[in-house]
Chains A and B, each alone.
Chain A
Amino acid sequence: MANLLWETPQGTKSLLVTPFATEEDFEKTVFAAQDILEDIFFLKRQVRGGNKPGIPDIVGIDNDGNVCIVEMKNVTVDSSIIPQVLQYAFWAETNPDSIKSLWFECEKKPDDLPISCDDYEVRIIVIAPDILRSTLDIVDRITYPVDLIEVKRWMDGDNELLLVNKLEQEKKNKIRPVKGIDTYDEEFYRKEYNKNSADEFLRYTKEVEKIVKEKGWNLEKKYNKHYSSFKAGFFNVFGVRWMGSKTITFLS
């Protein structure tokens, strides 16, 4: 059980991790802390019950146009969850009409969402208080991108402290499948977008990267299909995004 030592002007407080009482309590907390899933627009959020086998309860679109399958469990998760979420991802991949219906049923859609209902990738997000590290070994061998995110809670009176930890595989020579997750690099942008605009997109991204280095900010640059981002752990802080094939924007 994890302790949180909180240094305050009044002294050090030692807090014990506070488990979520129920699945519902866990899901409510995750949805209420909007930053955790801030890059996802939810198409379907049928959190409790009534689901059909093989069809996910929570489906969204992230700001890179990927269809996201979100699976939340208020228990310790191990690799046995992977077959279940793969089933969901397969459903999302093979049922573009269902995704399209969910999309059109939504009343308040975000502007400029770069989704193509005929050509999208599926991203899996598993959220639980504890996830066994061995799960990463399985995740590393499947072709869908998978985010494993631990959310733990500490309570101090009315204050609630949440730890959001995205599990990362330690760097090593990976065994990669023949066809895997698309690589987004300079070549990709020059191929997919207007060439001059791609040059500008890359130039601005590199200028931002230079500022990040000069300032000593602890941010990681990541190229995505529709934007480059500078991330603090799991969260995007700022970046450069495509708006169409020629126009680019800073986002913050």
Chain B
Amino acid sequence: MINQDDAEKFQPPFTKYDISWKEAQYYIDPNKTKTKDFIPIFEHAYQKMSGR
């Protein structure tokens, strides 16, 4: 999971940042939301967790 400061640097913007769980949430609209748009966010979360 990424912190709020990092989450604010990425597009698409998060719908909500949940401080308790320390996670950014992005509502999915199946007619619009494309998973590939989230690759940079996923990549950042993975790199943070894997220490890269």
* Chain A residues in the interface with B (C-beta under 8 A): 34, 38-39, 41, 63, 108-112, 200, 203-204, 207-208, 211-212, 215, 217-219, 232, 235-238, 240-241, 243, 247-252
Q: B28 contacts A250, CB within 8 Å? A: yes
Q: B49 contacts A235, CB within 8 Å? A: yes
Q: B21 contacts A39, CB within 8 Å? A: yes
Interface size on B, residues (CB 8 A): 28
Chain A residue with the shortest CB-CB distance to B10: A252
A155 to B7, CA, bound (A): 31
Contacts of A251 in B (CB 8 A): 1, 23-26
Chain A contact surface mostly: mixed
A41 to B23, CA, bound (A): 13
| Number of A-B residue pairs with CB-CB distance less than 8 Å in the complex they form | 87
Chain B residue with the shortest CB-CB distance to A215: B43
Q: B49 contacts A232, CB within 8 Å? A: yes
Q: A238 contacts B41, CB within 8 Å? A: yes
Give chain A nearest CB distance to B41 CB in angstroms. Answer: 5
Contacts of B50 in A (CB 8 A): 217-218, 232
Contacts of B25 in A (CB 8 A): 241, 243, 249-251
Q: A252 contacts B45, CB within 8 Å? A: yes
Give chain B nearest CB distance to A234 CB in angstroms. Answer: 10
Chain B residue with the shortest CB-CB distance to A207: B35
Looking at the complex, which one of B21, B36, B42 makes contact with A238 (CB distance below 8 Å)? B42
Known: A211-B36, A238-B1. A249 touches B42 (CB 8 A): no
Contacts of B24 in A (CB 8 A): 251-252
Q: B20 contacts A111, CB within 8 Å? A: yes
Known: A219-B46, A232-B50. A252 touches B41 (CB 8 A): yes
Q: B21 contacts A208, CB within 8 Å? A: no
Give chain A nearest CB distance to B13 CB in angstroms. Answer: 12
A219 to B45, CA, bound (A): 12
Q: A252 contacts B7, CB within 8 Å? A: yes
Looking at the complex, which one of B20, B28, B30 makes contact with A110 (CB distance below 8 Å)? B20
Q: A247 contacts B35, CB within 8 Å? A: no
A236 to B43, CA, bound (A): 13
A-B contact pairs, 18 of them (CB 8 A): A38-B1, A41-B21, A203-B30, A215-B39, A237-B45, A243-B25, A248-B27, A249-B15, A249-B25, A249-B26, A249-B27, A250-B25, A250-B26, A250-B33, A250-B38, A251-B24, A251-B25, A252-B42
